[in-house]
Structure 1
Amino acid sequence: MQPQDQNSDQNQTAKIAAAIKLLIASYDASGSLLICGNGGSAADCEHIVGELMKGFCLPRALSAHDRDRLTAICGDDAARLGEKLQYGLPALSLVSHSSLITAIANDLDGDLIFAQQIWAMGKANDVLLAISTSGNSENILLAAKTARAKNMTVIGLTGAGGGKLAPLCDVLIDVASNDVASIQEMHLPIYHEICRQLESHYFTA
């Protein structure tokens, strides 16, 4: 490994650690993670939610206290619920709501599909994860600006340099490529590592 490659890896590791620290601070303050992206990055949004809202690498089994609460309320279904339900970390993909997104695009402005959702439900302790291979998508930039207006934390996941999104981020994780497919492939292990470390922080016995 060349020295510059080693420095790049260390820098990337530090950025990931900084993002995780911000997410832990948010979750500790009862915040949620809101995620936005276009195209392949929209698929990444859904993927991340799937890793956070249920078990990823760990089972996240319910405590005896919570199983007892289910028993008190759920009758015959309590055993099944207590055995199968898992703890989750609140995460919401802003690409999921097709009726809302098309209403915003039709009635307001297509570039506001994420910003409007953030304005409606974003809170000061929440985090926006903005995923953009270029860092220049207008709807992502408006989402990040709106999040900052709501006193939210902004984490960017982009290609090299971060584009116009970079100065809007509290933490920018940019990968060393300008090729869309390569950027998307490099993003996956990064967000998997973030999800894995968050899960380990909250759910390791």
Structure 2
Amino acid sequence: MDTKCPQTGDECLATFFSNYPEMRSCETEMRAARKAITMAFSKDKKLLVCGNGGSAADSEHVVGELMKSFRFKRPVTSAFKIAYREANGCDAPTWLEGALPAISLVSQTALSTAFGNDEAAVGVFAQQVYGYGELGDVLLAISTSGNSANVVEAAKVARARGIKVIALTGSEESKLTALADVCVRVPRDEVFRVQELHLPVYHVLCAAVEADIFGGAAE
């Protein structure tokens, strides 16, 4: 957790674009992504995240930043403290934190291998979107090419379930460009170079959304 003075979500993004001026071409999309994720969390909805290879690791990383404190202290609600005391006869532990509910679809090893073996490997993320997803949730679909087949299928199911799709890709037009409500196309095309920008992009989105919910002011 950052011990420096807290920033609002707007300040987080302003600092990001100052540090990564090449990303100004994606400013509209990044602000839209932040708004969509903040809105979902503010309505008690969740974020689903998927990707392959390095993007699978990124999916796990995103969830790690959202499900526990990142830069802000996240106190549990007063209502929960009361409910915990009534249920257990003691105060809630001080280490319990407010969470922004996010699920990495790459983590479900038994389900993914069973579904891939018994049904179709291309559907391992789509099946989870169908099972976990609810109207008002958001899917963060990470693909350096924007054409990863299992990520594309997940986006298709999300659209059918009324789930907003935010895609994080490289610079080229892709299948996810057409499917996503918001597509952040970082201005690079080599896989590892795309991934180098994906990390600060999702870091600042996590920071801005956390500030919106726990410490700062949304736009």
TM-score using structure 2 length: 0.84
CA contact (8 A) 1:162 1:172 kept: no
RCO comparison, higher one (Cα < 8 Å, 6+): 2
**Using the alignment, how far apart are the partners of 2:131 and 2:82 within structure 1?**
36
Letter of the structure 1 residue corresponding to residue 25 of structure 2:
N
Report the CA distance shift for 1:167/1:38 in structure 2 as closer, same or farther (over 3 A). same
Task: Verify: 1:189 aligned to 2:200, yes or no.
Answer: yes
CA RMSD, Structure 1 to Structure 2 (Å): 1.7
Q: 1:26 aligns with which of 26, 40, 64?
A: 40
**Using the alignment, how far apart are the partners of 2:50 and 2:23 within structure 1?**
25
Percent identical among aligned pairs is: 43
Which stretches in structure 2 are left out of the alignment for 5+ residues? 1-19
Partner of 2:84: 70
Runs of 4+ more than 6 Å apart: none
Give CA deviations for 1:98-134 in whole Å, capped at 9, x if unaligned: 0000011011100000011111221111111000001
Letter of the structure 1 residue corresponding to residue 163 of structure 2:
M
Task: Verify: 1:43 aligned to 2:50, yes or no.
Answer: no
Give CA deviations for 1:128-161 in whole Å, capped at 9, x if unaligned: 1000001111111111111111111000001112
Measured after TM superposition, the shift of residue 65 of structure 1 is: 4.2
Letter of the structure 1 residue corresponding to residue 56 of structure 2:
A
Number of aligned residues:
197
2:147 aligns to what SS in structure 1? coil
TM-score using structure 1 length: 0.90
Partner of 2:138: 127
CA contact (8 A) 2:59 2:104 kept: yes
Q: 1:172 aligns with which of 173, 178, 183?
A: 183
Measured after TM superposition, the shift of residue 202 of structure 1 is: 0.8
Which stretches in structure 1 are left out of the alignment for 5+ residues? none
Which is further off, 165-174 or 9-18?
Answer: 9-18
Measured after TM superposition, the shift of residue 62 of structure 1 is: 2.4
CA contact (8 A) 2:166 2:181 kept: yes
